[in-house]
């Protein structure tokens, strides 16, 4: 799984696409690995706006990523989940351990004032 | 196989509905009935039927014991939790002193799954036959030891029924009580065993005290095959997914989410959640059931999967 990514200040926004299940959870793990490198130091925000579904195996990948970042005093956020994925987070109670935000901008704001300022500066005036 | 009857559905430790719980239910029912008149008992029953299960009833508190009505003459049980006490009373009420045969399939010998045996009255009556099956070498030792002094005042030797122990080999099909029975070793401290029962084209899987490692897809695939096309799967859904893989990882239990996922992949007809967390209230269990049904709905790719949550006294017709 390839993750399109963009850095806003001290936060990287990465965007998985499609279904995350037992068929490609290993691929997501591999794709996330570079962002979990302790040398990076940036926070990580996953833009979930194009994820249709996430299974238990995929949720485990998120939990392990959050755990890894936590040991490095870094943060993981998940932004803009679809209605279905948001429901899965709630039913699995992952909403209790993930830092969820309704939009990428909100997610950046939760992780870093510098990152959201960079994001706003990069957007045309009036854009969401 | 005709029917499954649940005598004990709680995990780890029996629990009781306490006075405050009952009072809260009564208050909710009375609030709902405000201004309503009841002409007779049928009217009252009709009103009670409109109330949510967690208001009008309770999931109950006995530990694991499940009866399978096979259509044959012998009794078939899974586990000897505290629920086997009321089962024994019901069997005695039905048969009196007429000797019966009880086939008992043990998931494992942790306390909550064996604690009912000293209170299983048919075991004290001569003429009865109790055959205990399992995959553990320590099965007989564990059952004898819990009745040894100083743990219990009545020794195992007080049983006057014929008590037999049969160790079953996992992965092989055994013909018992007119059923085909297959065991599967499960991930649990000291191991546990799941059972698949087949008869007359019907199949039931009893899979409790079983943790599913999300890191081992091959292991999960093995359970998909074990559950394959079963009419009913009784599944350890003790924790939420996040608990099962974080703070309660390696505690040997599973979640509603993993239950739905495996049953969907295995084309199961009916998933019954079982081995409820003792700290969960009726309201919590009702919410988990509603959430699980919603999860099945939004993830459904094939035929709908029926989902229920076991309660003491519940019957499922096959």
DSSP of chain B: --EEEEEE-B-SS-----HHHHHHHHHHHHHHTTT----SHHHHHHHHHHS-HHHH-----PBSEEEEE-SSSSEEEE--STTHHHHHHHHHHHHTTS--EEEEE-S---HHHHTTGGG-GGGGSTT-EEEEEES-TTHHHHHHHTTSTTT-SS-GGG--SEEEEEE--TTSEEEETTEEEEEEEEBSTT-EEEEEEEETTEEEEEE-S-B--TT-HHHHHHHHHHHTT-SEEEEE--B-HHHHHTTTTTSS--BHHHHHHHHHHTT-SEEEEESB-TT--HHHHHHHHHHHHHHHHHH--SSPPEEEE--TT-EEE-
What percentage of chain B exceeds 70 in pLDDT?
A: 100
For residue A64, which residues of chain B lie inside 8 Å, CB to CB? Answer: none
The residue-averaged pLDDT of B307-315 equals 98
Query: Nearest CB to A63: which of B240, B245, B261?
Result: B245
Residue A41, pLDDT above cutoff 90: no
Put simply, the answer to whether B242 touches A56 (Cβ < 8 Å) is no
The model's confidence at residue A22, banded by pLDDT at 50, 70 and 90, is confident
For B278-287, how does the pLDDT look when each residue is reduced to its tens digit (9 = 90+)? 999 999 999 9
Give contacts of B 132-161 with A, CB under 8 A.
none
> pLDDT band at residue A42, thresholds of 50, 70 and 90?
confident
Report the pLDDT value the prediction gives residue A127, as an integer from 0 to 100: 59
pLDDT level of residue A126 (50, 70, 90 thresholds): low
Which has more pLDDT, B1 or B5?
A: B5
* A chain contacts of residue B255, beta-carbon cutoff 8 Å: 56, 92
Instruction: Tell me the pLDDT tens digit for each residue of A96-121.
Output: 999 999 999 999 999 999 999 999 99
Distance CA A54, CA A33 (A): 19
| B219 CB within 8 Å of a chain A CB | no
In the predicted model, what is the mean pLDDT of residues B161-173?
Answer: 97
Give the pLDDT of residue A128: 54
Partner-chain residue, chosen from A84, A87, A97, that has the shortest CB–CB distance to B242: A97
Q: Which of A22, A59, A96 sits opposite B217 (nearest CB)?
A: A22
Q: Closest CB to B294: pick one of A55, A87, A96.
A: A87
B242 → closest Cβ in A57, A87, A93:
A93
Confirm or reject contact between B294 and chain A (CB < 8 A).
yes
Q: How far does B259 lie from chain A, in Å, by closest CA?
A: 10
Compute the average pLDDT of residues B217-242. 96
| Chain A interface includes B300 (CB < 8 A) | no
Task: Check CB contact of B298 with chain A, cutoff 8 Å.
Answer: yes
Residue B30, pLDDT > 70, answer yes
Q: Using beta carbons and an 8 Å cutoff, which residues of A are at the interface with B? A: 22, 53, 55-57, 59-60, 63, 84, 87-88, 90-94, 96-97
pLDDT at B96: 87
Task: Identify the residue whose tokens are 């059931």.
Answer: B289
CA distance B281 to B253: 19
Q: Does B299 reach chain A within 8 Å, measured CB to CB?
A: yes
Gap from B124 CA to chain A (nearest CA, Å): 45
B243 pLDDT band, cuts 50/70/90, is very high
Q: Do the Cβ atoms of B295 and A88 come within 8 Å?
A: yes
Residue B304 confidence (pLDDT) above 90? yes
Average pLDDT, chain B: 97
Distance from CA of B162 to the nearest CA of A (A): 46
Please state the ipTM of this predicted complex. Answer: 0.90
Taking 90 as the threshold, does the pLDDT of residue A2 lie above it?
no
Spell out the residues 6+ positions from residue B23 whose beta carbon is closer than 8 angstroms to its own: none
Size of interface A-B (CB pairs under 8 A): 50
CB contacts, 8 Å: A88 with chain B? 295, 298-299
> Which candidate, B260, B259, B205, places its Cα nearest to that of B229?
B205
| Residue A10 tokens, joined | 């001290």
B254 touching chain A per CB within 8 A: no
Q: Does B246 touch chain A (CB under 8 A)?
A: yes
The whole-number average pLDDT for the span B147-165 is 97
Give the separation between CA B191 and CA B136, rounded to whole angstroms.
8
Strand B101-105 relative to strand B129-134, pairing: parallel
Check B241 against A56: CB less than 8 A apart. yes
How many angstroms away from the CA of B6 is the closest CA of chain A? Answer: 26
């Amino acid at each position: 799984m390839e993750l399109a990514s963009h850095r806003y200040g001290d936060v990287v926004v990465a965007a998985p696409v499609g279904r995350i299940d037992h068929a490609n959870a290993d691929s997501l793990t591999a794709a996330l690995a570079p962002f979990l490198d302790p040398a990076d130091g940036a926070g990580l925000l996953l833009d979930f706006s194009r994820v249709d579904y996430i299974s238990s195996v995929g949720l485990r990948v998120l939990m392990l990523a959050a755990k890894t970042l936590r040991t490095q005093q870094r943060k993981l956020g998940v932004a803009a989940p679809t209605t279905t994925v948001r429901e899965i987070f709630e039913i699995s109670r992952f909403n209790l351990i993930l830092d969820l935000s309704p939009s990428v901008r909100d997610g950046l704001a939760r992780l870093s004032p510098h990152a959201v300022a960079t994001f706003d500066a990069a957007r045309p005036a009036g854009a969401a | 196989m005709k029917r499954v009857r649940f005598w004990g559905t709680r995990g780890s430790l029996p629990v009781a509905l306490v006075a405050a719980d009952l009072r809260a239910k009564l208050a909710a029912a009375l609030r709902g009935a405000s201004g309503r008149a009841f002409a007779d008992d049928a009217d009252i029953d009709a009103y009670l039927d409109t109330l949510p299960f967690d208001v009008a009833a309770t999931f109950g508190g006995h530990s694991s014991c499940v009866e399978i009505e096979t259509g044959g003459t012998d009794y078939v049980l899974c586990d000897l939790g505290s629920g086997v006490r009321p089962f024994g009373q019901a069997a005695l009420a039905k048969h009196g002193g007429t000797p019966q045969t009880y086939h008992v399939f043990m998931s494992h010998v942790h306390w909550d799954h064996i604690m009912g045996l000293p209170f299983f009255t048919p075991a004290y009556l001569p003429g009865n036959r109790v055959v205990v099956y399992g995959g553990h070498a320590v099965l007989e030792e564990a059952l004898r030891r819990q009745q040894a002094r100083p743990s219990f005042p009545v020794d195992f030797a007080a049983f006057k029924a014929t008590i037999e122990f049969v160790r079953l080999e996992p992965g092989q099909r055994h013909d018992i009580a007119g059923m085909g029975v297959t065991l599967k070793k499960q991930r649990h401290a000291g191991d546990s065993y799941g059972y698949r029962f087949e008869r007359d084209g019907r199949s039931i899987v009893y899979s409790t005290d079983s943790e599913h490692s999300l890191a081992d897809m091959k292991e999960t695939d093995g359970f998909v095959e074990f559950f394959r096309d079963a009419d009913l799967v009784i599944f350890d859904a003790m924790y939420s997914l996040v608990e099962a893989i974080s703070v309660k990882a390696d505690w040997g239990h599973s979640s509603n989410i993993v239950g739905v996922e495996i049953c969907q992949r295995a084309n199961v007809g009916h998933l019954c959640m079982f081995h409820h967390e003792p700290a969960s209230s009726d309201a919590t269990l009702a919410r988990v059931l509603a959430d699980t049904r919603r999860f099945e709905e939004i993830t459904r790719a094939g035929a709908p999967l029926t989902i229920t949550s076991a309660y003491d006294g519940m019957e499922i017709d096959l």
